[in-house]
Structure 1
Amino acid sequence: MKITVIGASGLIGAKVVELLTAEGHEVVAAARGTGVDVLTGEGLGEALSGSAALVDVTNSPSFEDEQVLEFFTRATTNIVAAAKNTGVGHYVVLSIVGVDGLPHSGYMRAKVAQEKLLTESGVPYTIVRATQFAEFTDAITGSMTAGDEVRVPDALIQPIAADQVASDVAHAAVSEPLDDVVNIGGPEKISFEQMVRESLARRDDDTKTVVVDPEATYFGTLLQRNSLVTPD
């Protein structure tokens, strides 16, 4: 089966390429470094030619509200058009668990716009929504740190290993389109407090005080307790 992975140079994209190749599929690894530009559409037709499925794991270089919305809107519009022109039969996109429940986040609004463009395109699709990557928990901890204090939301998080995300995305790519959303998450739902304490312990950092604050934000956005975890 011929499959095009767009965003193949990223964390998940590289893993998906490796998994699908190991399974014997013909994989086209598409990225700016291979001459494919999702913002201009350059190279998309060639990259998708003859492919039965495509995997979209692209990400915006900027997380500023206007820029990230512009990126996902333009990129998805171009990929959808190229998919239709080349007869791709399955569009798999990686998204985020809870994405439609956090409208005050510019990034989440942009991902919702991406999903909407796909679901209304007429191209058969599967949306894989994942919880936050376990590999990013230290960065999340850093984002909540000010001096010797880490202020965390009174909410849950469900870290999932990037390898598992890539495996689930690769599985979706070789399966029939669902025309629906699949939610995937890590094995355990834990508090932000626990996540931060584990992150600090890994780095032998005992200088920080962890404070649970209902007004603390996640990258500028207030959370409900279950905003970022898979449904029961």
Structure 2
Amino acid sequence: HFQLRLSDGGSPCAGRVEIYYNGIWGSVCDDSWDVVDAEVVCKQLGCGKALDMTPPSSSGPGSVHIWWKDVKCFGNESFLWECPSVPLGHQDDCSHKEDVRIMCSEHKELRLVNGKHRCEGRVEVFYNGTWGTVCSDTLDSHVAKVICKQLHCGAFQYVEYDAQSFGAGTGTIWLDEMECLSHESTLWQCHTDPWGQHDCQHREDAGVVCSESNVTKEQSLSSTYCHKQLDTQDSVHLHGGSSNCSGRVELGNVVWQFLGYN
């Protein structure tokens, strides 16, 4: 029984390539790894296309096992384990420093920039390999509440409907015509026009101010709210959530399922 995931990359579509086999999650050595192999992974996970960039390294080491190396996909495979490779577990010349990490086009991130701290500023989202802005046309309190909640920035305070306070952005305007109900965990769970489709200009870039201010401009979401304590015997992972700080709790090789937790 095989499973595939991307771990410690901030979303299910970026991170370290890991294979579940024989009841254990293990990584893949980057010997002979190329973009064709990454395309198979992204396609299998429904994460779009492989990008020519890698996510930042995680704060902890990879899994105990390195299952595969010398993966050589042709590109038409539906599953990574259909690609030729060195047999499972034969990886004596690899270390976790060589674990494969990839980013797919459906990987998304959210941030606020140009404020006094990371909980206020111009709303920017990362998609398809680039950072872009959000149009303020329909960005109401419901949308702003979701943004503050996703960033762990406390309660929503107010929305900036022009670029005067936090400046105009550059590049793509990714989101327009957003409708949230406030219960969503991430901005991309809300209804929007297709990504990149809009009738806005950068002078309409949205800004949001959240109540949390006890953070510095340099503090990141992961370093502020999600300190990982990793041990070779009892490592704790969160997998399958919207960020490194949410998801299914995995302790070592045991999966603890919490059902109905709010």
Query: TM-score, normalised to structure 1's length?
Result: 0.29
Structure whose residues are more often helix by fraction: 1
Structure whose residues are more often strand by fraction: 2
Query: TM-score, normalised to structure 2's length?
Result: 0.27
Please identify the structure whose Cα radius of gyration is greater. 2
